[in-house]
Amino acid sequence: MEELTPQSCLETLLNAYSHQYDITRGVTAEGCSFPAMAHFFLRDEHYLVRRDKQFYATEQHDYTYFYTADHLDAGEARALADLTLKTGLSQIRPHKEHMSSYVTLVILAGTVDPEAKKLLKRTRFHKNFRLSLHGWMEYHIAAMECSTRTFFSNPAGRGARKTLEANFAPK
């Protein structure tokens, strides 16, 4: 089994995400630097008889932040989770056609402290906008410990964890 580094994993993962997401490299948010960020946008419109008679429309967003580290401790994990949640929330613009937004943090680390794993697995956040009339948002976290090829996530981040597993799990 070959040795994986966080940087090599990031390039593989960005290639997988690039099929459906817009990738931006070298993102800085509140003084913290992320090697990449991915944004997904979907708008679905339904019409009544003709296109000019729009019945309803929905919009979905996904803001994914990628972070790499040689070692992740609990303090850094908490700071990352708080920062990405705050930055992601600032990008969401709820309105009557907004259905959902996801803010996702994907961490690729050489090693991860057990306390950091526990903290990331327990982190949860869900917010409704105007009693869900203007949509809702959910916070996802998925991480991979590159040295052992172990994967973990918070309950909402199962989809992001499955993407990590699909790309890096031993075959």
Query: Residue 151: which of 115, 123, 122, 109 has the closest Cα?
Result: 109
What CA–CA distance (Å, rounded) separates 159 from 165?
Answer: 10
What CA–CA distance (Å, rounded) separates 102 from 107?
Answer: 16
Amino acid code (one letter) for 85: L
Query: Partners of 28 in the beta sheet?
Result: 33
Say whether 9 sits in a helix, a strand or coil: helix
What CA–CA distance (Å, rounded) separates 34 from 117?
Answer: 20
Question: What pLDDT score does 120 carry?
Answer: 94
| Residue linked to tokens 């809702």 | 136
| Mean pLDDT of each 10-residue bin along the chain, 171 residues long | 82 93 92 93 86 82 95 94 94 93 96 95 94 93 93 95 90 73
Residue 92 · residue 137 · CB < 8 Å:
yes
Sign of the alpha-carbon dihedral angle for 124, 130, 136, 139:
negative
Residue 24 · residue 128 · CB < 8 Å:
no
Question: What pLDDT score does 53 carry?
Answer: 75
Encode burial over 54-67: b for 16+ CB neighbours within 10 A, e otherwise.
eeeeebebbbbbbb
Question: What pLDDT score does 2 carry?
Answer: 64
Tokens of 156: 């909402």
Domains of the chain (ranges; CATH) run 6-44+56-168 (3.40.1350)
Question: What pLDDT score does 40 carry?
Answer: 96
* pTM, to two decimals: 0.91
